Chain A
């Protein structure tokens, strides 16, 4: 049973526009969330995290929003750049240091 879901397998965005990647989870005990970015032939790299005590976390062009009541989080990339083209995975866990559950990933293509 997939506890973390990314319902959009792919997304295409024009360079300079906003990219919004969505993620839903089913386990209300999840309280720590991360986004990873993966290029082909490389392992995922950490992008940004958020804990359930916050509803927003920003790091440069990347902002993650958390809606606990809807069990939904989203990653906003503004402005999108061609180098952002990659597969993005969201992940969730109960606290830090515990097993992470990953979504199926969304492949983002930023068109120059």
Chain B
């Protein structure tokens, strides 16, 4: 079974730009969660989607948004990028059977 695929792996953007990250979950997994990892802050929960609906949301500004498609693939968008948005963005898909599986992440650098 293929794992969680995140694209792109690396991304460099300029302040003020916007970015879209993609996550393809494990086949059959309907839940996709997004996390931001920064040094010293651990994994901060962004949001979770289940069957195309946002089910949970963390404490991030409205510049961070996401969506999920009918095939369970999810995208995360960050608008008006700030230097502090530089981080590793991790996506995890889950099912009640398989639990949580993370992708390798997208390393975003904002310059």
Q: B-contacting residues of A (Cβ < 8 Å)? A: 2, 6, 9, 34, 36, 41-46, 49, 89, 91, 96-105
Closest CB in chain A relative to B29 CB, distance in Å: 12
B48 touches A43 (CB 8 A): no
Residue count of chain B within 8 Å CB distance of chain A: 24
Nearest-CB residue, chain A, relative to B104: A43
A82 to B92, CA, bound (A): 27
B90 touches A97 (CB 8 A): no
Closest CB in chain B relative to A103 CB, distance in Å: 5
B104 touches A97 (CB 8 A): no
Which stretch (B34-42, B69-77, B79-87) binds chain A?
A: B34-42
Q: A-contacting residues of B (Cβ < 8 Å)? A: 4, 6, 31, 33, 35, 40-45, 48, 56, 90, 92, 94, 96, 99-105
A42 to B3, CA, bound (A): 12
Most interface-central of A36, A45, A100, A103 (chain B CB within 10 A): A100
- Which chain B residues border A100 with CB–CB below 8 Å? 33, 45, 100
B100 touches A34 (CB 8 A): yes
A97 to B102, CA, bound (A): 15
- Which chain B residues border A105 with CB–CB below 8 Å? 42-43
